[in-house]
A and B are shown apart, each in its own frame.
Chain A
Amino acid sequence: MANAVEKFNNVAIASTEAINGITDANLQALNGLEFTGVPDAHTLISTHTASASSSLDITSGIDSTYDVYEFRFVNMHPATNGVDFFFQVNAAGASGFNETMTTTVFRAAHDEADSATTLTYQTSDDQAQGTGYQSIGNYGGNDNDQAVSGVLTLYAPSSTTYVKHFTARATDHMAHDQAGDFFVAGYINTTSAIDEISFKMEAGNIDAGTIKMYGIATS
């Protein structure tokens, strides 16, 4: 067996005797890929760091290589107080981040003063066949220690048959000193492939923050 893989989880292949009960001698492929070409199951594609940026636009790397793409956004800090964190996409061959979406949004919130808790559907943040940027982080504060972090998962963006599903979960330190746990899901209502994605704040710049784009290996 040709072997280009050197380590799994920092364990040298030479020390690996079995994976999921399959002995090394019988292991010829992972995730349907031959050993010589197998990528990581969870591959970092690119890293994007904001520095007083109006948006972070990822315009390469989203293609048919992976079934699922994951965007991990860490400590997205807004320049403006009390703004949502947004995303939109662009279809291959089209222009502008303005694809049609239908989405659902709900959140749990709890303030530091312990005076209010909530678990509510957010009608002000969802879209019904809208073309605006979709909120995936809610009312972030711009105090020096405030930010929003979370994960957006985009399924099969290269499909030319189906709409494009996504889910997101973010945790905020909101402008009015509340913890927010924000859940967003929906679909981008186009059968065209999606090959670009944009992130920005509702208003003002992304003062700081990092977004890492990962590909999840094909099934």
Chain B
Amino acid sequence: MALTLISTHTASADSSIDITSGITSTYDSYEFHMVNMHPANNNVNFTFQVNADGQSGFNETITSTSFRAYLKEDGTGGTLGYDGGADQAEGTAYQRILSTGTGSDNDQCVSGVMTLFAPASTTYVKHFTAVGNGTDHGEYEVTSYMGGYINVTAAIDEISFKFDSGNIDAGTIKMFGVS
């Protein structure tokens, strides 16, 4: 099977989902499928960070890009543009992915897929791409594209997902290995 389910992580009022096993040299790339990530707080951003093998803390250096398309439910405001509030330049903060400004109404959430390339490499930086779709707190549909690299040659073996404020009220992340 070229796409192998490694693990499933279900949030229930969790501050974060930390995946601390299963990211190894077994696979060339890893896919994280995030479904219906629902925030406890309104107007928050879904984010990720990683930890290098043998290090502590989710705080690796990232340079990234972000752009998004959005449209309000009343049909106004359709826009495509670079999102300077969601990128990083050699930053060590959690990186926004999938969407921005997600609302906490009962039916609001964010879903999408992130690909992490060759995390076990000890030669190259670690590339990632993500695409996601969310329901903004202001009743916008937001589709975001994030890409970039984790600027470290050490292997990456842990990853953390969280909202930038408040808990992940609910949602599921499935980690797949692509062999």
Residues of A within 8 A of B (CB): 7-10, 40-44, 72, 74-75, 77, 108-114, 117-119, 144-151, 169, 171-173, 177-181, 183, 210, 212, 214
Contacts and interface: CB of A to CB of B under 8 A. Distances in A.
Given A171-B147, A177-B63, A181-B147, 14 more contacts: A7-B1, A9-B4, A41-B3, A145-B124, A147-B125, A148-B127, A149-B118, A171-B117, A172-B127, A173-B127, A179-B64, A180-B65, A181-B145, A212-B28
Chain A facing B: main interface SS: strand
Contacts of A150: 127, 129
B5 A75 contact: no
Interface of B is mostly: strand
A116 to B, nearest CB: 9
A216 to B, nearest CB: 10
A118 B82 contact: yes
Contact of B123 (A112, A145, A172): A145
Interface of B: 1-5, 28-29, 63-67, 80-82, 84, 87-90, 115, 117-118, 121, 123-125, 127-129, 145-149, 151, 153, 178-179
A109 B81 CA distance: 12
Nearest to A77: B124
A10 B179 contact: no
Instruction: Tell which of A40, A145, A183 has the most Cβ of chain B within 10 Å.
Output: A145
Contact of B4 (A10, A119, A171): A10
Contacts of A173: 124-125, 127, 149
Nearest to B131: A169
A147 B151 CA distance: 12
Contacts of B151: 112
Contacts of A72: 28-29, 178
Contacts of B5: 9-10
B147 A74 contact: no
Contacts of B145: 108, 181, 183
A110 B65 contact: yes
A162 B110 CA distance: 36
Contact of B129 (A41, A74, A147, A181): A181
Contacts of B179: 44
Given A8-B1, A109-B65, A173-B149, A210 B125 contact: no
Given A44-B2, A108-B66, A179-B64, A145 B153 contact: yes
A149 B119 CA distance: 12
A145 B84 CA distance: 26
A179 B65 CA distance: 7
